[in-house]
Structure 1
Amino acid sequence: MNFGVDATTAASIWATIGLVIFIGIMIYFGVPKLITKLLDDRIKKIEDELARAEALRAEAKALLAEYEAKRENAEKEAEDIVATAREEAFRLTAEAKASLEALVARRTKAVEEKIAQAEMQAVAEVRSRSADIAVEAARVLLQQQMAEKGDALVEQAIQDVAARLN
């Protein structure tokens, strides 16, 4: 039965008929539904993974922002600690300087008081010694005068007493 068709055309027709029968069998057994279901499942799985990836990305952004804020707070805290330590060091230095100046002033005053006391003691000793020397000189002078004019002075004193009694 050759209807005037050459062999290549007949082969093409039979291949087309075979393809239509194959597609019909595939449709009959529900292969397109299976393929669609497999593709839908695969699409759903990819969508779930994309959603999970997006959630992880958002979480990572939130964590990054949180850690950035913590880092900034830590830097600010460190700067505050350094500033406080610097202020404390200046305050302690000023206190130590004031304390040292007060100590030097007290010691200077104590030394000046000791010097003044030593001067007063030296002056008192000089006066005491001068008084002792003056008393000794007066005693020696009186002894000499008494030795020379003693009898005359006694006579004069007796006359003065007698004159006063009369």
Structure 2
Amino acid sequence: MIYEAEFWVAVAFVIFVLGLLKLGAHRTVTGALDDRTARIRAELDEAKRLREEAQALLAEYQRRRAEAEREADDIVATAKAEGERLQAEAKTKVEEFVARRTQMAETKIAQAEAQAIADVRNAAADAAVAAAETILVDTVKGKVAGKLIADGIKDLKARLN
């Protein structure tokens, strides 16, 4: 057994491990492992904190988005109501405009009709006066005839106008 290589490898290994323990290598290794554990724990804590912040930020942005959607819906509803109001107002104005234009057209037509009637009366009066003058000139002669004609013409014009 003493001559076997495995025995001496085992003895060397035990001596090596005892030497490491004597030099305090186990404290260095455990310290390094503890430091690494602490560093990993700190990273995990930081990751957890960052995740919570991200979730809070996400919730804030979702709230803002919902608020913006509500505001957009309100704006659309207001714009729609305003459009309907403007449409009704425009319709009323157009109806009033058409009524005014119709009234103005009817007034102009009535004035033109009255003017046409007056023109026809004047033309008829002038024609009647001319005819009466011609008839009276042919039938009545002298100064009396001229005076009668003039008085008749004035009287006729006054009556017909």
Residue 58 of structure 2, aligned match among 64, 79, 86: 64
Which has the higher mean CA deviation after the structures are superposed, 99-108 or 40-49? 99-108
- Could you tell me how far apart the structure 2 residues matched to 1:125 and 1:21 are? 147
Task: Write the mapping of 1:1-166 to structure 2, written as runs, cut at 5 A.
Answer: 7=1, 21-147=15-141
User: Greater CA radius of gyration, 1 or 2?
Assistant: 1
Letter in 1 for 2:130: E
How far residue 62 of structure 1 moved from its aligned partner, in angstroms, is: 1.4
How far residue 116 of structure 1 moved from its aligned partner, in angstroms, is: 0.3
Which has the higher mean CA deviation after the structures are superposed, 108-117 or 64-73? 64-73
Q: Which structure would you say has the larger RCO, counting Cα contacts within 8 Å and 6 or more residues apart?
A: 2
How far residue 63 of structure 1 moved from its aligned partner, in angstroms, is: 1.5
| Secondary structure of the corresponding residue to residue 42 of structure 1 | helix
Aligned partner of 1:159 in structure 2 is none
How far residue 138 of structure 1 moved from its aligned partner, in angstroms, is: 3.4
How far residue 144 of structure 1 moved from its aligned partner, in angstroms, is: 4.6
Structure 1, gaps ≥5 residues long? 1-6, 152-166
- Could you tell me how far apart the structure 2 residues matched to 1:143 and 1:114 are? 42
How far residue 73 of structure 1 moved from its aligned partner, in angstroms, is: 2.1
